[in-house]
Amino acid sequence: MERLIVAFSAGVDSTFLLKVAIDTLGRANVLACTGVSPSLAEGELKSVRDLAQHIGANLRLIETREMDNPNYVENSPRRCYHCKSELFGKLSAIATAEGFPFVCNGANADDVGDYRPGMEAATEFAVRSPLLDAALTKDEIRFLSQKVGLPTWNKPALACLSSRIPYGTPVQVTSLKQIDQAEALLRERGFTVCRVRHHGTLARIEVPADDLHRLVSEPLRAEITAAFKSFGYTYVAVDLLGFRSGSGNEVLKLTATKS
């Protein structure tokens, strides 16, 4: 590929892709670009900077304005498409202006089976997916990341904060801030894998089933409840099914079954 831009989220996949790209093509021929908007958790922005420095990557933070797009804000099941169109559009413009023949993302072989409208946007902007081209699965990427000494090899899967808001509920900056504060608190208390699903005045907490007992034990239960109320939630609920990545898409599967 000679020169390329990596859409860098600091997740397991894009971090590994960035590392391999630099090792293969050289630092000068690789540019890591990260979209910055209210849907990016504050802690993840720090992680982006730290990991880029760890790898020795050239990093550029790009302001994305998906919140200005009413099609994104309305939060239909196509939300991710509009977000990725905004990001890939800006990265493609940089690539053209600065002589990068390729823009790449961290999609892998496990991403093919799930509902991911963002991959449609990648196709429209001719974004390449080297990990998918190599048929690498998430587990294989974690294994290889550990082999090359990347600290992300066991990093929990993450998604943008907007994914915590049910389809059909408009995305608002205030809601994203609430979610970010709530999840940051849970991580500070040792719940490295967690989601706070935002249902207006109600926060629905997902943690792995093995962590449910600790979550509802005193004094942690009372502390979390008080903190969530200070963030603006009236009700704090625990999902007894536990953590499920992409559980927001369960409503789509239910609708498809009924139809």
Res 257 pLDDT > 70: no
pLDDT at 175: 98
Q: Which pLDDT band holds residue 65 (cuts at 50, 70, 90)?
A: very high
Task: Tell me the three-class secondary structure of the chain, residue by residue.
Answer: CCCEEEECCCCHHHHHHHHHHHHHHCHHHEEEEEEECCCCCHHHHHHHHHHHHHHCCEEEEEECCHHHCHHHHCCCCCHHHHHHHHHHHHHHHHHHHHCCCEEECCCCHHHCCCCCCHHHHHHHCCCECHHHHCCCCHHHHHHHHHHCCCHHHHCCCCCCHHHHCCCCCCCCHHHHHHHHHHHHHHHHCCCCCCEEEEECCEEEEECCHHHHHHHCCCCHHHHHHHHHHHCCCCEEEECCCCCCCCHHHHHHHHHHHHC
Q: Which pLDDT band holds residue 259 (cuts at 50, 70, 90)?
A: very low
Task: Tell me whether the CATH fold assigned to 4-154 matches the one assigned to 161-251.
Answer: no
pLDDT at 113: 72
Architecture in CATH for domain 4-154: 3-Layer(aba) Sandwich (3.40)
Res 57 pLDDT > 60: yes
CATH code given to domain 161-251? 3.30.70
Q: Which pLDDT band holds residue 115 (cuts at 50, 70, 90)?
A: confident
Res 127 pLDDT > 70: yes
pTM of the model: 0.91
**What are the structural domain ranges in the chain?**
4-154, 161-251
State pLDDT tens for residues 204-254: 999 999 999 999 999 999 999 999 999 999 999 999 999 987 666 665 655
What is the arithmetic mean of pLDDT over 74-82? 96
